[in-house]
Every structure is written in structure tokens, then in C-alpha cells.
Structure 1
Amino acid sequence: MKPNDSSVEAIFDKAKTEGKPVFLYWGAVWCPPCNQIKATVFSRPDFIERSKAFIPVYLDGDTPGAQKLGTQFKVRGYPTTILFKPDGTEITRLPGEVDAVLYMQVLRLALNASQPIHETLAAALNVSTASPPLTPDAWRMLAYYSWETDQAQLVDKKDLAATVLQLAAKVPVEHKQASARLKLTSVVMALQEKFKALDKARALVDIQKILADGALAHENADLLANYAGDIVGGLTDAGTATRLGLVAAWSLTLDRLALDTTLSKADQLAAVQGKVVLAQLGHEKDAKAPVDVALQTMARVAATKADNAIDDKYERQAVIPSAAHLLSEVGLLDESDAMLMAELPKAVSPYYHMLVLASNAKKRGDKAASLDWSEKAYSTAIGPATRLQWGSGYVAKLIELSPEDSARIGKAASQIIAELDPAPETFYERNRRSLEKMGAQLLAWNEKSQHTKTLRVLSGQLAGVCKKLPEKDPSREACEGVFTKSPKKT
């Protein structure tokens, strides 16, 4: 089912009548992880069969009212999948980038859950007085809750790292899988938030045990591949024996994951990307560093393998940009471009691939080509929210690479404003953030009042849109604040 404009009332009325939970998927046509879920999870026979037990709802970020609903449900990043009780109570948020088999396991647990995740969390944090103790399934639900898309639904952002660290400390040791997942997740979050209470020595021991356990490493392939550099760089010092040993152990694990055919092509490729990050750790920003030929060969083989092995168009939308990015990370820019150019005519959303081409051109030092690809990506983007996001990105690229070109910057920003639908739903969630970001960047660009004329024209144009919004609606304030304040910290 799809929502009726910015209302899901009819959907939950149907859920109550049928006594079924609601499965909400928030995504976008261009989004690589969204296409990965479409290809590897939603197409599975067991998912299709399981979907008979719930009411599936697809909330595309570009559909009318979607961004307002995004605010209502506290969803931001694509994809986010949430399971609700028929009365609208949130049961849990499912992880978006785990292995498909694991996703199905977590979905089964969620459908069978006796209580919503916020009650399970409260019981876990007070485990000494909980009666009865949490079951293994309850701990597994917490371990595989989508903490990265929580959006303060369970825990305030400032308390998120501390909360997951608490859970990792409280989970009984006999729940090996949940313990490993929570420990890894807590380390990632603590390092991202620069949380001083993280016991790095203890974390290092825990992670070494996970790396040494093939089953645990397989189950946490997404975290081990995607956060290899963050964790190693955060827990160890450059040049030390500890770092060298951890990199060696981690690389061996990633080698095994890269060859593990039970994982998706995206996960196998991510393992190779993780190896590249580890190999470049400490000197990845040094443009003059010699190119590692072995690293290039490894990347080339992995990218070519992925390109040749995938036929599904949705999976290709997920994997090919990653493969091209991998090639560019090891200096194979021409090969990356060739892969992307070959893909453009058959891609689900070619404008996403154009952003990688723009990035490659920038790495070469070709500012003109980078801006041209960014402009083409914006001009071919489809959907109001997507066009607003791509357009604000194009303006940002212009300000960065060609700040003296006031005419081009003004024209791009003016086009974005001209496309705004003067309706309250336009000024929510991702749309609001894109506009506020563009406004802040334009204000910074005009810091010395050298582009005042351009800003005056743009402000006047946007004011015309704002005046069409209801006076007391929050959207009016959001619209009027674009050129008068910095973006909200969210």
C-alpha cells in the first residue's frame, strides 16, 4: 500500500480491522542500499510469504506528503524499515544493510515479539530487577535494532552511544551473537561520538575475539567491512605493533568475507573496500603517496567480478557505484569512469552514477568536468525531494569549485527555488535540511557582501514562495529562515 498524501490513517484503520502489523519501508528510487534490499530481501520467496502476515507500506521520499510523514515517523536516512503494531505502536526498526538471511531472522523475531522494542530496552537497562530475565530473542532484537536510524525514537542522540555501551556490558555472555553485535555497534558509536568512557583496551580484546571467530565475523560482515578504518584508527596508534597486528587479523577476515559466496555481491565488495581502507590507513590523504599495484589489482578484480556477475537491475544500482568508487580509491580513475559510462544507459537512476563521475573529475583536478557532471546529475534527477537534494548539492559544488561564478550559482539556486511547491509538505525532513544547507552555504559565500545582489534576488524569490504558505504553519517559519539563519542541528 501507499499513503494517501500525507496521511496513513487508512492504512492503520485497515491494520486494526485485519489485526495485522504494518511494515513501513522508507526509501528512494536512486538509493543504493534501498535497491540492495529490493534485490536481495524483498524479492525472496520467504519474504513474500512472510509479507502475508503484515500490511506492507512503501513510502517513497519523492511522493506527495512523504517528507512530512518522514518527520511524523522520525525517519531520515534511506532505507529505513519499521514494524508497527496495528494501533501504530512501533515494534522495532530493522537493520537496513545486514545480510538478507539475517534480515529475515530479525523480521521473524519482530513479528513474534511480545512487546515493543522500547519496553525491551527498558527491561534490559534494568536487567538486575527484570522479571523474568530477557530471552535470547529479546537480546537479539536489541542487538539488531537499527540504532543508526533511531532518530531519538528510543534514546536521545546525546545518550545513544552510552546506552548501547550499557547494553553491550549487560548482555549475558552466553548470548554470544547478540553480545558480539552489541559490542561492535557500541564501539562504532562511541568512536563516532568521541565518547570518552569507551574502554579501548577492553574493546580491542572483544574485537580480536570476533575476528578470530568465523561465524561471528560472518554475522557481522557489514560492520567489519564498513567500519574497519574507523575502528582500527580509533582504537590503535599509527605505527604501533598493536595496529599492525589488528590490521593483519582484520585483513585476513575481510579476505574470507570477500570470497564468501553466501554473502551478497555488495557485502563481498564491501569487504574488499574495507581492505583498501585498512591498507591506506594513515596516508590515504597523501596524494603523492606511491600507488600500491597489488591494491589496484585486488580492487580491479573485485570490481570486474561484481560487474560481470550481477544481472538484476536493482542490485546493479546498489553495487556498480560502489565498484566504481573502489576503483577510484586506488587511483584507477579511468577504469572507474569507463565502468560508470557503460552503466549509464541501463542504470535505474543514472543521475546517482553521475555524482561518482563528478567526484572522479574533481580528483583529477578537472573542476570544469566535475561541475558539468554535477549539473547534468541535477538536470536529469527525478522527483521533487531528489531534485532538491541534487540541486543543493550542485550549488554546494559550484561554491566550492567556482565561487567567482556568481551568475551560474545564482541561476542554479534560482531554479531550485522555482521548483518548490508552495505547500507545507515541501518544507519537512530531507527537503528542509537541503534548503537550510543551501541557504547557509550561500550566506557563507556572501560573507564579505561580494554577492549581495545575487542573494537579494534569491531571497526575494523565496519570499514569494513563503508568502503562499499558511501563516502559523511551521513550514512558513522554515521557509522564511532559509536565508536568515544557519541550519538546525539535528
Structure 2
Amino acid sequence: MKRRLTLIAALLIAGSSAYAATPPANADHKLPPGIAWQQGDVTAAFAQARATGKPLFLYWGAVWCPPCNQVKATIFNQQAFIDRTRQFIPVYLDGDQPGAQKLGAQYKVRGYPTMILFKPDGTEITRLPGEVDFERYLNTLEMALGNARPVKQTLAAALKGSKLGSDDWKLLADYSWDTDQAQLIAEDKLPATLLKLAQSVPASEGPTAARLQLKALAAAANAEKAPPIDKAAALLALNKVLADPKQSRANFDVLVNYAGEIIELLTASGTPEQATLLASWNKSLQSLAGDASLSANDKLGAVTAQVALARLLSPKGNLPEPLLSEVKKRVAQADAGTTNGYERQAVINTAAYTLSSAGLLDDSDKLLNAELKRSHSPYYFMLSLASNAKKRGDKATAVDWYEKAYNASEGPATRLQWGVSYVSGLVELAPQDEVRIEKAATSILTEVAGTKNAFYERNRRSLEKLVGKIHAWNKDQAHQASVKRVLTQLEGICGKLPGKDPQKAVCHGLLKPAKA
């Protein structure tokens, strides 16, 4: 599926926090205190789980990741969650830790954050949703802890028409389908599967059926090929949710993150049906934007969605002045009211994206530049500054920000990802600068050569993108000598890998397009 509407903005309910603007770092990674995390050694943690008979909770994240920081600020710091951690072995696996990407491939985790509950024997129970509020998250966790049957088996039973309990249906509705990685169902079959589940839920489970229906629509809207949908029935169900404040609040994550996509899926531009749906959706979003029970990031996400709906009517033009004023006001409130350093990483990300989407690029830049001095991972926001410069058509400034972000980034997986973003920016915005492009690609590969397990999971995907960009840049054979030097460097890295190392085949696979 495509990235969610607010890019990397997780949606979780905020709780009280005593942290300063910049959160304290523990020995290796920035994590709130109070939880006895096992860090990095998943094998030892599973051994402990088997010895104690406790489930294992795996959290896969990154220091810079906005939704990861939101989880830290609004779930991991809640006493109710901290108390529950005594029931399982909590493991924190940071994507930049040694061997993390290899473990990521083993446990099929890619997107940050991914949270999985395992049985002591390593059987996966469920993947927990990082975009819901704390109450829903905790309820899902408790149901999973009390459920002896993995969600994979529950799904199989549901699809066969077997009778399920209320908690079974809720676990399916609140499963983290966005981070499933085809563990339960192939991605191309997800929309149809969710639609079938929604139609199979007993009438007594109305709210659960509505949530599955919304998630099915979101999946369909982001699929390369959407399955057949009864649009009239879908609109009827959707309008019932939008007309019910309680239902809208319960499903705010879907309504906020997929507003524009679902409307485009179900209605045609300029039709009365679309106008009616836009009005209902905007009314719901306005209510959510002022809902005191939601976190600053959640409320701001509702404003982001309002901008997205306005863009359906005005893709490139100026938005209505009242909406622009509302955006500025809500962003200012979120900025001033968010002092938790973890939460700010999410809030400022959403705020800057909202301003940029509304066409308020100068306001977005001002907010981002100020945050560079406060954030524990300022290199993340440098990419947003690059994006803003690109929107203005200021190619030189955009490329400079991509370079600054790469130079400031930390951690092997992160540096690889940021380096590839830099090369991608150069190829798109300054393709004539052969020296700079080759230098950047060479720098990335030099670091890869010194990185253990550099060809797994997110690293592998970053390297695939790097090679793809280099070939696209050279499609007219105008940079043949430069590309040959880069690929020769990569070939040298492949050659030094042990013959039985699975990474060797992956590395050589990256070279096949060149030889072809």
C-alpha cells in the first residue's frame, strides 16, 4: 500500500508526559524509562520467553522515525502499558543496531514502527496497530495476550465461515494490516479479503464490521488494481460512520489517513455524490480536529486531511483563506503545546507537511528550521526542507538539503537510506553534475563495504533503488564511464562476501541489469 496520508505520522492518543523538549537518551537508544527492554539480541530474548513461559513483544523502530517517537510518547510512557510489560518479554530492535536488518528479514518487519506479539515458542500471535489511540491499542494488546489462537488461524477460520467470537473479529479489525508484509494475506488480495471479512461479521458486531469495511476501502484505494466494489453500499456504510460522532471518533485513524483516496475511489470528480461526501467528511474532520481526547498529532492529522480534501477540488491552486487560517492556527497550537521531545518528532513532521500541502512553504520552512535546533534527529527534517525547495523549483537548494541530510544522518541503515535519497535528488534535479553523483554513490558504497549484513531488508531495498537510479540516469549511455566505476565498486564488494553467504547472491543480483 501507499504511504499513509500524513506520510510518517502515527495516530495515537496522548498521555501526560514529564519529559523535556529533548528526551533523554539511555545507553544506546532514545527510549522512555520504566520498561525492562531487551535490546537487539532477539535470540536470547526468545530463550528467556521459553524459559519463563511468557510471550515476547517485539518493537521494531528507528530513532528518527516520527510514528516511532509518537508511540514512545503516547504508549510506552503510559503506566497501564508499562504494567502490562510484566506479562511479556519486551524487545526493542532498532533498525540501525548491528544485525538488525538481517533480523528484520527473518521476522518480516520493514516499516517503522512494527510491533508484534509472539508466543514463547516464536509463533506470531498478532501485529499491533501503531496508528490507533492508546485505549484501543491497550484493548488489542490485552485481547491478544488472552487469545490462545494466532490471528493467522483466526483469519483462516473466518474465511472458511467458521463461527468466531467478538474478540476474534475485533483482533482481525485492529490487526496492523499496514505492516503485515504478506504474513496473513498477499498484498494484492488484501482489499478483497477485508471486504469479505466485513461482509461476514455478524450483525451484532456492527462497529467491527464498519471498521473492517473502512479498512477494506482504504486498502482498495491504495491498491494497484482495486477489486470490484459495491460503491452504493460502501457509500451508505461510510456515511453512517461519518454521521455518527462516536463511530467517527472510533475510526479516526482511517478517516484521517485515507480521506482523499477513499473519496476518489467511491465518487467521480464534480458529481453531486462527491460534493455530499466531501461535506460530510469535512464536518467529521472539523470535529476531530477539536476533539480534546485526541493527541496533538491526531488533531493536526485531521487538519491535514481537510487540506487533502480541499486539494481534490483545487489540485494546484490556492486554497480558501479560511482553511489556510485554520491550518496556521492549528499548527501554532500544536507547536506551542507539544513539549515532549518524542512527540515533537511526529507533530512537527505532520505540521510541516500540512503547511506544505496547503501551499504555505515559507511557514513550513520556518517551522522546520527552528526544529533543527531542537530535534534529536534533525536530519529527518532536512529531507522535508529539500522537498519544499523542490516544490518551489529551487533545485540547487533542494540538492544541498539532501546532501546536508545525508551528511548529518546517523546509523548504517539510516545513512544508506538517506544517501540514496541524496543520489535520487541529484539524478532528478542535477543530472548534469556527474562528478557529484558519482562521488555520492561511491561514498554510499564505501560505507556499505564496511557494514555487516548490508544486503538485508531495508538495506537491500535501498541498494536496489540506488542501482535503479544509476541505471535510469545512464539510460542514454551519457554517463557510461561513471556508472561503470560505481558498479565495479559494487562488484568488488560482492566478491569479498563469503561464497555461502546469502548476501552474495543478493549483491550479484544488483549487478544483473548492468550485465544484461
Shorter-chain TM-score bucket reads over 0.9
Quote the residue 2:192 is aligned against.
Answer: 162
Quote the residue 2:155 is aligned against.
Answer: 121
CA drift at 1:279: 1.2
CA offsets 1:327-380 (integer angstroms, 9 cap, x no match): 111221111111111111110210011111111111111111101111000000
Quote the residue 2:334 is aligned against.
Answer: 306
Q: Distance in 1 between matches of 2:240 and 2:221?
A: 19
CA drift at 1:13: 1.1
CA drift at 1:115: 0.8
| Contact persistence 1:424–1:475 (CA under 8 A) | no
CA drift at 1:424: 5.8
Q: Distance in 1 between matches of 2:158 and 2:394?
A: 54
Q: Distance in 2 between matches of 1:121 and 1:76?
A: 22
1:175 to 2:205 alignment: yes
The equivalences for 1:417-456 within 5 A come to 417-421=445-449, 425-456=453-484
Q: Distance in 2 between matches of 1:67 and 1:198?
A: 38
**TM-score normalised to structure 2 length:** 0.90
Structure 1 consecutive aligned stretches of length 4 or more whose deviation exceeds 6 Å: none
Q: Distance in 1 between matches of 2:197 and 2:108?
A: 23
Which of 387, 401, 412 is the equivalent residue of 1:359? 387
The equivalences for 1:311-330 within 5 A come to 311-330=339-358
Q: Distance in 1 between matches of 2:442 and 2:323?
A: 44
CA drift at 1:422: 5.0
Q: Distance in 2 between matches of 1:158 and 1:230?
A: 17
1:191 to 2:225 alignment: no
Quote the residue 2:8 is aligned against.
Answer: none
Amino acid at match of 2:216: S
Q: Distance in 2 between matches of 1:118 and 1:190?
A: 21
| SS of corresponding position for 1:42 | coil
1:244 to 2:275 alignment: yes
Quote the residue 1:53 is aligned against.
Answer: 87
| Contact persistence 1:23–1:56 (CA under 8 A) | yes
Q: Distance in 2 between matches of 1:425 and 1:417?
A: 13
| Contact persistence 2:73–2:343 (CA under 8 A) | yes
Q: Distance in 1 between matches of 2:211 and 2:513?
A: 40
CA offsets 1:274-327 (integer angstroms, 9 cap, x no match): 11111110432x3xx234211210110111010011010000001102101111
CA drift at 1:474: 2.2
**TM-score normalised to structure 1 length:** 0.95
Which of 405, 408, 412 is the equivalent residue of 1:384? 412
Q: Distance in 2 between matches of 1:187 and 1:54?
A: 34
Q: Distance in 2 between matches of 1:49 and 1:485?
A: 52
| Contact persistence 1:440–1:483 (CA under 8 A) | no
| Contact persistence 2:42–2:91 (CA under 8 A) | no
CA drift at 1:42: 0.4
Quote the residue 2:129 is aligned against.
Answer: 95
Q: Distance in 2 between matches of 1:208 and 1:472?
A: 57
- Quick one: higher RCO (CA 8 Å, sep 6+), 1 or 2? 2
Q: Distance in 2 between matches of 1:417 and 1:46?
A: 45
| Contact persistence 1:168–1:179 (CA under 8 A) | yes
| SS of corresponding position for 2:64 | coil
CA drift at 1:192: 1.8
CA drift at 1:145: 0.4
Which of 430, 433, 437 is the equivalent residue of 1:409? 437
Quote the residue 2:59 is aligned against.
Answer: 25
Q: Distance in 2 between matches of 1:157 and 1:292?
A: 38
> Aligned-pair RMSD on alpha carbons?
1.3
Which of 251, 276, 290 is the equivalent residue of 1:259? 290
Q: Measured at CA, do residues 219 and 421 of structure 1 come closer, stay the same or move farther in structure 2, by a change above 3 Å?
A: farther
| SS of corresponding position for 1:58 | strand
1:230 to 2:261 alignment: yes
Q: Distance in 2 between matches of 1:413 and 1:14?
A: 42
| SS of corresponding position for 2:448 | coil
Quote the residue 1:473 is aligned against.
Answer: 501
| Contact persistence 1:109–1:137 (CA under 8 A) | yes
CA offsets 1:419-439 (integer angstroms, 9 cap, x no match): 014566210000000001110
| SS of corresponding position for 1:482 | helix
Q: Distance in 1 between matches of 2:38 and 2:494?
A: 29
Amino acid at match of 2:468: A
Q: Distance in 2 between matches of 1:191 and 1:169?
A: 18
| Contact persistence 1:70–1:76 (CA under 8 A) | yes
Q: Distance in 2 between matches of 1:266 and 1:330?
A: 17
Q: Distance in 2 between matches of 1:157 and 1:236?
A: 24
| Contact persistence 1:424–1:476 (CA under 8 A) | no
Q: Distance in 2 between matches of 1:421 and 1:439?
A: 15
Structure 1 runs not aligned, ≥5 long: none
Amino acid at match of 1:195: A
Which of 57, 72, 75 is the equivalent residue of 1:38? 72
Identity, in percent, stands at 51
Q: Distance in 2 between matches of 1:301 and 1:484?
A: 53
Q: Distance in 1 between matches of 2:383 and 2:272?
A: 39
Amino acid at match of 1:277: A
Amino acid at match of 1:319: V
My pick for the range that moved more, 193-202 or 228-237, is 193-202
| Contact persistence 1:422–1:465 (CA under 8 A) | no
> Aligned residue pairs: how many?
477
Q: Distance in 1 between matches of 2:111 and 2:371?
A: 25
1:68 to 2:102 alignment: yes
Quote the residue 1:219 is aligned against.
Answer: 250
| Contact persistence 1:422–1:466 (CA under 8 A) | no
1:464 to 2:495 alignment: no
Q: Distance in 2 between matches of 1:13 and 1:242?
A: 57
Q: Distance in 2 between matches of 1:147 and 1:481?
A: 30
CA drift at 1:8: 2.5
| SS of corresponding position for 2:110 | coil
| Contact persistence 1:424–1:469 (CA under 8 A) | no
CA offsets 1:137-180 (integer angstroms, 9 cap, x no match): 11000000011111111112222222111101101121122111
